[in-house]
Structure 1
Amino acid sequence: MLQRISQLVVVSAIAGLLVAALTLPAVGGVGITARNIAAGFLDMPSNLETPPPPQRSTIYDAEGGVIAEIFDQNRELVPLDDVSPVMVDAILAIEDARFYEHGGLDVAGTLRAALRTLGGNTQGASSITQQYVKNVQIESATSQEELDTAREETIARKIRELRYAVALEKRMTKDEILEGYLNIAYFSDGAYGVESAALHYFDVHASELELHQAATIAGLVRYPYLYNPRFFPEQTVERRNVVLDRMVAAGSITEAEAAEAKEEPLEVDLDTPPNGCVPSGEPFFCDYVVQEIEKDERFGPNETERARWLRTAGLEIHTTLQPQVQQASQEAVDKWVPRENESRKVSAQVIIEPGTGRILGMAQGRNYGPDESKLGETSINFATDSDRGGSTGFQAGSTFKAITLAAALEEGLPFSTAFNSPTSVSVSGQRSCNGGTLATWTPSNAGDTASGTTHNMVSGTKASSNTYFAQLQARVGICDVMEMAEKLGLKRADGTLFTENENSLANSSFTLGSEEVSPLRVANAYATFASGGMYCEPQAITSIDDKQSGTTIEIEPECERALEEEVADGVAYLLSQTFNGGTASALGIGRPAAGKTGTTDGSAAAWFAGFTPQMASAVFVADPRGPQQYPLRNVTIGDRYFSVVYGATISGQIWKESFQGAHEGLEVEQLPSAPGRFGSTSVPRPPSSEPDDDPSPASDDGGVPDVVGRTEADAVAALEEAGYTVNVSGTRLNSSEQEGTVAAVNPDPGTRLPSGATVNVFLSRGGGSADGGQEDDDGWFRVRPAHTPTTGPPD
């Protein structure tokens, strides 16, 4: 207490000398002393920067609706003209009645405070200008050291504040200082600035405050905790009445007006605006926007600075989220995978606009919150990658077959590219991107195809035949398929590229979707097909208005051509056939669409990815505790029991219902037709012993001629005569056939194919017996049924 008293006395003395020095001529020793003090005082630094104080940032959807408000301090700036005159009178009466008379140093007030403090009645001595200076220094602090200096209870701090106050009064008007003070002051209970305080306590704007309300708010500044109406309502009322008495003394109100105001009950509303993504109606998209700002170098030199900018600059963040799309998506997710389902399964969906990359919807079957142990609550955004607040991903199943189709078409293979696709096949000789040879792989189907069935791209896609796509991947080259995935923006959800990840490079089953990815990346890859081959980076933000700097950041789509238009259109055509007798037959939405189911081994995860010309989406369902340990078998989700969940069972239904709602009111647009460069879209005809009333265009009723052992010229002539296109491999197989003659053909002899289908011919290098699985120099293989076939789930 003695230290505090002595500080006030010293400050009062300094203030008196400074005023004398600055206003009177030098007279004797006292004048010289005053002049010397003033000279030293005026030599102190005085250029105080007064940036706008921290305020709320707001995230808006594409139609201007508020998604969330993000802030460190609940503050909204208002001009002085938008503050009720009675509020101005109240703050002046209680904090600085001589504000418009002094020059930043209220000597009379300082001396009076010192005398009262000496008498045992501790009283502050700072003018509004000095208080404003202190608050500016606190809010401008960028380190704990600067913050401690701004708050320290020392004579040095008081002197600095006095110097800044004197300088501030010379370059700012009184109204400007008062406006700054009313916007920066803390009014208790988390309310910063007079506008936020008015809304917080009384649910009115600062311009609408009545006398008793203004007096209540003004009384909170001196001791915000002691007078907090939430905890100490009686003290709040007492303080309000003190303010009213000061207003009477200042002549701003009459005693009768004060008496009437004192009769008003406190009745504070305590309406605190929701802060952050937890209370948002679109919490996971909100979190994605926050992550985008904090992780993007465009918005600041480091993550700490970007986070501070977001929470203090009063940003208006305009996003791509379409309310209609988001609502349809969230309703469908919640219907099929309720947030608090006892099975603890989760679903997430992302919907993207082709040709722009704009995220139109992002929904998840969870409540947003930090308590992972609470049923139905998580802060992990399963829709996106781990670097944007997501998980390390889930295997995407047969949705990856679309990538293999794109790689095959890009290399010029026609739709008629056919393989005998039995229940199981053995694939050997595949080479990864690092040059290594992969182990023999034996994929299998599970009921969607039978041994001996021949598929081409059209029928193989319809049936989602694993054995067909295993052979197509090997024909194209697994490295080419991985590189195609990366061209489409796909990568592992942990952030690594497939061609750089050791586990991925050893993964023969890439085409079957054994890589862990996020719905966001899969949806965006499918959006590339829908857009005619234009790849666009996923985009959540369209513009940011920075109210502190007065600037606007416009964010345009980042797009580039990833595929030839005909290749993308070819994939779109093939995927559209899944709705026509394929695995998506029950998922039609009443307008042209393309899509692909996906179920991982053992039904660990189930997916659907699909698109129209206007939207592309990916949906997954799995158990975040571990899909393999908690598969989608014999499970009750919500009030539905499932013996096994496939891609079309839940994910497909979510996609269907969300797309129906999202497209409501939109014009029906057509998907592109099949590009002519890829040939016939006919499916292979199955073998039959019955008379053929509609013979295949192929002239040889026995299917692919058996040309093994014949010369290259004879084999090519026989195959072309049968109506097929011939591809002779540039490398040769070990074979018991004479060197230079045909060692094998693919598909096998006797396979029925449509006219123009491609038959691959492999010549013998001699020197060995044909075993159907011998690798040659280009990594090709020959199909042979597995001795111990296994089964996997149909999509």
Structure 2
Amino acid sequence: MSRTRFDGLPPRKVASHLGVMLLVSVVLGVVVSGLAIPFAGVAGFTSRNLAESVDDLPQELETEQLPQRTEIKDRSGKTIATLYDQNRVNVPLRQISRTMVQAIVAIEDYRFYQHGALDLKGTMRALLTNQAADGVVQGGSSITQQLVKLTLLNQADTDAERKAAIDDTYARKLRELRYAIALEKRHSKDWILERYLNTAYFGDGAYGVQAAAQHYFNVNAKDLDLRQSALLAGLVKSPEAYNPRKNRAQARVRRDVVLDRMAQLSVVTQEQADRVKARKLGLDLQSKPNGCVNSQAQFFCDYVVRWLKTDKSLGATAEERERMIFSGGLTVRTTIDMRFQKAAQDSVNAQVFKDDQAVGALALIEPGTGNVRGLAQSRPMGTKKNQGQTFLNYTVPKEYGDANGFQAGSTFKAFVLAAAIDQGIPLNTRIPSPSPKSFRLADFQTCDGPYQSSEIWSPKNSTGEGTFDLYTGTRQSINTFFVQLEQNLEGGVCQPWQLARRLGVQIGKEAMVPSFTLGINDVSPLEMAEAYATFAARGVHCAARPVMRIEDADGNVLKKYDKHCTQELPGPVADAVNDVLRGVVEPGGFGQALNPGQPAAGKTGTVNENKSVWFVGYTPNLAGAAVVAGANREGTQITLDGQSIGGYTRYTTAGSTTAGPIWGGAFGPIAQWLPDEDFTRPSGQDIRGLLMTVPQVGGRSYEDAAAELKGMGFNVASNGTVDSSYAQGLVAYSAPGAGEQQAAGDTITLYISDGSPKPERKRRQRDNNNNDDRGNGGGRGNGNGGRGGD
């Protein structure tokens, strides 16, 4: 030690230096796993105490997967949202520029590849410098030790664990060194450096060198040049103090320190360093907005996140699933078409303003696949109610959006129409339909027998009276016509109620009421679009699907979400429904002004007191449900009458004139991207005569059952194994089931037995669920029905 080092110091300080040097000599004699243990802050301990303390520490550091950002992409692969707890994208060392590696090693630990877990020279230098300054002015930790600290901090779950990871204590330093020793034994230097560069925080929300390169310079880590590398390498010491977005002058000073250090170590020449020091920072700041609120498809993004949170394959608990979604580095490939989304959002915004005392919404879904193509609503995502913002997603069922939905009005007449056609009621059946007409509620049948009520119900028509058939009664949406049609059905309201549930409308038994045909409460646009898409797909119902697959950070497919489709209506029945409903958007129909220039069909809906109005329409390859509903900023439903909606005071509202323009305004532009297809016209023969009875196939081999069904003209599909008392490998049951009526070309799905029958308790629970497996009771039925008509 040079004598001049102590010149001018008081005797007490000199004695302190000598004491520390003596302590260093003692501690350096203690070797654990072949390396000296740290010596800062160990005054009062003997070498034996230190050795025993180190031996008591854990010998391995579990390096969990680093949190990485998740990207949600549209159907074409374009990112529509990023989700993260930490904005990070891991990259291998080979994809980090050599210049960046040299810069970080030069400034943080230039002897990294020469020493072990502890750099004795660096630690000694830091110790003496800090002791002389009577404070911490220089760090002596190796990159490996820094990685341990970052790892412990990153993996801390509690405030206590986070505090322990950064405490400047003897215990923390001992633990840090022991873990560093273990890392050096277990991993190569390149692995440690790669992990360090991916773990380090570079300020301004950027974790890891790849995210930092993208954020500050809009380049990938492999393309970082000397100027960029020096700036990033300088940030890790104090990311916010040197934040170049907020503190450019300090960031430049720190960058130049790195450049001079690289020149001192002959990594670059002094001439190169000086040339770069003369240049500006060269920032090209790029933000990576976090969360759905920053997405161009806010509520579709929110729907995707909440939909994935229900998938238990992503984690056993809700917390694990959320961590996977926000920190798993996933690529979520969705079904949204941003062309359709923009058209939908533009149309909604044009018809209903965000601060109106009404909400407008539109859901788009593809028939035959269930792919959700777009979700738009008038109120943007956010917390500022005075600016029309909300976190309620009005486009989807309550479980995915927290909104209660709306009364669906006469759009439910389509389920009664389909049930009537399925039961063989001819399309030319004529029914006198006066207004009003009185009905005894006890005369209506439900799945459980007669409706239990002694009341008399007298619905009215808002669109005229007379005698109508299925075509004209539907085109003019005659309430008393449909109430009688429902009453005349075998089983009354039972089959329409069952059909609505099978087509995706989540209703319970409380919705099985005589006024069912005039609309039920608490229905979302996505449910109605999904149901009507079944008609477009010739009776094939496909559950709404917002995600096709998810991939991990390495591009491996974690899970595919296949479409889930079943034949819920015979093809000819759906064809007849389409033929009737297309009259609504053709000349003479309420929606004739909405025709997008392609074959289309649809149904209007209006509700008592005009609290909501609907238009649900579809082409052969896209279905959409539009709603406008009175809703104040607190979310309470109010009448639309007298409200300013889209810049106009509406003294009266209707499905065709208030909700219909949203549908038409979206489908008009979208039509250019849709295939030119037409609906299949129904046969002139009696529909009942076209149907065949599905045979009993339970207990038979798949080959035998499939052969018979194909011989009858059915298509056959399989849908995995189910619990069944039949022997493993035999058919358990079919859907549609034995005895049901279907047409040639319809698909019969076979379910194969796994040979393990359900326990009796579970069977009873399943049977109960089969009776009521959709709604959860409350708020779905409507004893008075919708206003109907248009």
Shift in Å, 1:218 = 1.5
Q: Distance in 2 between matches of 1:192 and 1:215?
A: 17
2:260 is the counterpart of 1:245: yes
Structure with higher Rg: it is 1
**Cα offsets for 1:540-594 (capped at 9, x unmatched):** 0001111169443111011222222233222222212223422223222222221
Partner of residue 323, structure 2:
308
Q: Out of 258, 275, 286, which is 2:290 matched to?
A: 275
Q: Out of 354, 362, 366, which is 2:379 matched to?
A: 366
**Cα offsets for 1:348-381 (capped at 9, x unmatched):** 111111111110121222322222x233322221
Using the size of structure 2 for normalisation, the TM-score is 0.78
2:426 is the counterpart of 1:414: yes
Mapping for residues 12-161 of structure 1, pairs under 5 Å: 16-19=28-31, 22=34, 41=54, 44-120=57-133, 122=136, 123-161=138-176
Shift in Å, 1:391 = 0.9
Check 1:523–1:579 CA distance in 2 against 1; reply closer, same or farther (3 A cut).
Answer: same
Partner secondary structure for residue 516 of structure 1: coil
**Cα offsets for 1:669-694 (capped at 9, x unmatched):** 121222456569xxxxxxxxxxxxxx
Q: Distance in 2 between matches of 1:358 and 1:201?
A: 37
Partner of residue 595, structure 2:
588
Partner secondary structure for residue 426 of structure 2: coil
Equivalent position amino acid for 2:469 in 1: N
2:634 is the counterpart of 1:638: no
Q: Distance in 1 between matches of 2:785 and 2:516?
A: 18
Partner of residue 398, structure 1:
410
Partner of residue 400, structure 2:
388
Partner of residue 28, structure 1:
none
Shift in Å, 1:473 = 1.9
Check 1:155–1:40 CA distance in 2 against 1; reply closer, same or farther (3 A cut).
Answer: closer
Q: Out of 389, 395, 406, which is 1:377 matched to?
A: 389
Q: Distance in 1 between matches of 2:48 and 2:787?
A: 94
Shift in Å, 1:409 = 2.5
Shift in Å, 1:397 = 1.0
2:674 is the counterpart of 1:662: no
Moved more, 668-677 or 353-362: 668-677
Q: Out of 508, 512, 516, which is 1:498 matched to?
A: 508
2:539 is the counterpart of 1:529: no
Partner of residue 747, structure 2:
none
- The runs of 5 or more residues in structure 2 that have no matched partner are 1-12, 37-45, 689-783
Partner secondary structure for residue 351 of structure 1: strand
- The runs of 5 or more residues in structure 1 that have no matched partner are 25-32, 492-496, 681-788
2:459 is the counterpart of 1:443: yes
Equivalent position amino acid for 2:200 in 1: A
Q: Out of 457, 468, 474, which is 2:487 matched to?
A: 474
Q: Contact between 1:488 and 1:535, CA under 8 Å: does it hold in 2? A: yes
Equivalent position amino acid for 1:443 in 2: P
**Cα offsets for 1:467-489 (capped at 9, x unmatched):** 11111222221233222211111
Q: Distance in 2 between matches of 1:181 and 1:390?
A: 42
Equivalent position amino acid for 1:345 in 2: A
Q: Out of 673, 677, 680, which is 1:672 matched to?
A: 680
Partner secondary structure for residue 657 of structure 2: coil
Q: Distance in 2 between matches of 1:317 and 1:7?
A: 60
**Number of matched residues?**
662
Q: Distance in 1 between matches of 2:585 and 2:22?
A: 87
Q: Distance in 1 between matches of 2:23 and 2:644?
A: 74
Partner of residue 617, structure 1:
624
Q: Distance in 2 between matches of 1:639 and 1:674?
A: 43
Partner secondary structure for residue 628 of structure 2: strand
Check 1:42–1:103 CA distance in 2 against 1; reply closer, same or farther (3 A cut).
Answer: farther
Shift in Å, 1:609 = 0.6
Equivalent position amino acid for 2:611 in 1: A
Q: Contact between 2:409 and 2:788, CA under 8 Å: does it hold in 1? A: no
Q: Distance in 1 between matches of 2:103 and 2:621?
A: 57
Equivalent position amino acid for 2:670 in 1: A
Check 1:393–1:557 CA distance in 2 against 1; reply closer, same or farther (3 A cut).
Answer: same
Equivalent position amino acid for 1:424 in 2: P
Shift in Å, 1:23 = 7.3
Equivalent position amino acid for 2:58 in 1: P
Equivalent position amino acid for 1:660 in 2: G
Q: Contact between 2:585 and 2:595, CA under 8 Å: does it hold in 1? A: yes
**Cα offsets for 1:491-525 (capped at 9, x unmatched):** 2xxxxx321x4xx35x4322111322000000000
Q: Distance in 2 between matches of 1:334 and 1:10?
A: 77
Equivalent position amino acid for 2:672 in 1: E
Q: Out of 284, 301, 304, which is 1:289 matched to?
A: 304
Equivalent position amino acid for 2:548 in 1: T
Partner secondary structure for residue 349 of structure 1: strand
Q: Distance in 2 between matches of 1:110 and 1:657?
A: 70
Q: Distance in 2 between matches of 1:355 and 1:15?
A: 74
Q: Distance in 2 between matches of 1:65 and 1:521?
A: 27
Q: Distance in 2 between matches of 1:5 and 1:531?
A: 86
Equivalent position amino acid for 1:194 in 2: V
Q: Contact between 1:344 and 1:375, CA under 8 Å: does it hold in 2? A: no
Q: Out of 226, 231, 235, which is 1:220 matched to?
A: 235
Equivalent position amino acid for 2:264 in 1: A
Shift in Å, 1:413 = 2.5
Shift in Å, 1:86 = 2.6
Equivalent position amino acid for 1:408 in 2: A
Check 1:627–1:164 CA distance in 2 against 1; reply closer, same or farther (3 A cut).
Answer: closer
Partner of residue 751, structure 1:
none
Q: Distance in 1 between matches of 2:101 and 2:330?
A: 28
Q: Distance in 2 between matches of 1:486 and 1:611?
A: 19
Partner secondary structure for residue 34 of structure 2: helix
Equivalent position amino acid for 1:248 in 2: A
Shift in Å, 1:398 = 0.8
Partner of residue 657, structure 2:
649
Q: Distance in 2 between matches of 1:131 and 1:221?
A: 10
Q: Out of 205, 211, 224, which is 1:196 matched to?
A: 211
Partner of residue 568, structure 2:
562
2:361 is the counterpart of 1:354: no
Equivalent position amino acid for 1:618 in 2: A
Equivalent position amino acid for 2:309 in 1: E
2:619 is the counterpart of 1:604: no
Moved more, 598-607 or 240-249: 240-249
Q: Distance in 2 between matches of 1:11 and 1:406?
A: 90
Partner of residue 754, structure 2:
none
Partner secondary structure for residue 550 of structure 2: strand
Partner of residue 327, structure 1:
342
Q: Contact between 2:353 and 2:647, CA under 8 Å: does it hold in 1? A: no
Q: Distance in 2 between matches of 1:332 and 1:10?
A: 79
Q: Contact between 2:608 and 2:785, CA under 8 Å: does it hold in 1? A: no
Equivalent position amino acid for 1:286 in 2: C
Shift in Å, 1:629 = 6.1
Q: Distance in 1 between matches of 2:541 and 2:592?
A: 28
Q: Out of 206, 211, 222, which is 1:207 matched to?
A: 222
Equivalent position amino acid for 2:396 in 1: T
Q: Distance in 1 between matches of 2:405 and 2:664?
A: 23
Shift in Å, 1:39 = 8.3
Check 1:460–1:42 CA distance in 2 against 1; reply closer, same or farther (3 A cut).
Answer: same
Equivalent position amino acid for 1:238 in 2: V
Q: Contact between 2:515 and 2:785, CA under 8 Å: does it hold in 1? A: no
Using the size of structure 1 for normalisation, the TM-score is 0.77
**Cα offsets for 1:377-421 (capped at 9, x unmatched):** 222211012211241001111111001112223333332343210
Check 1:678–1:423 CA distance in 2 against 1; reply closer, same or farther (3 A cut).
Answer: farther
Partner secondary structure for residue 286 of structure 1: helix
Q: Contact between 1:444 and 1:791, CA under 8 Å: does it hold in 2? A: no
Q: Distance in 2 between matches of 1:449 and 1:455?
A: 11
Q: Distance in 1 between matches of 2:195 and 2:260?
A: 25
Moved more, 249-258 or 556-565: 249-258
Partner of residue 518, structure 2:
512
Percent identical? 41
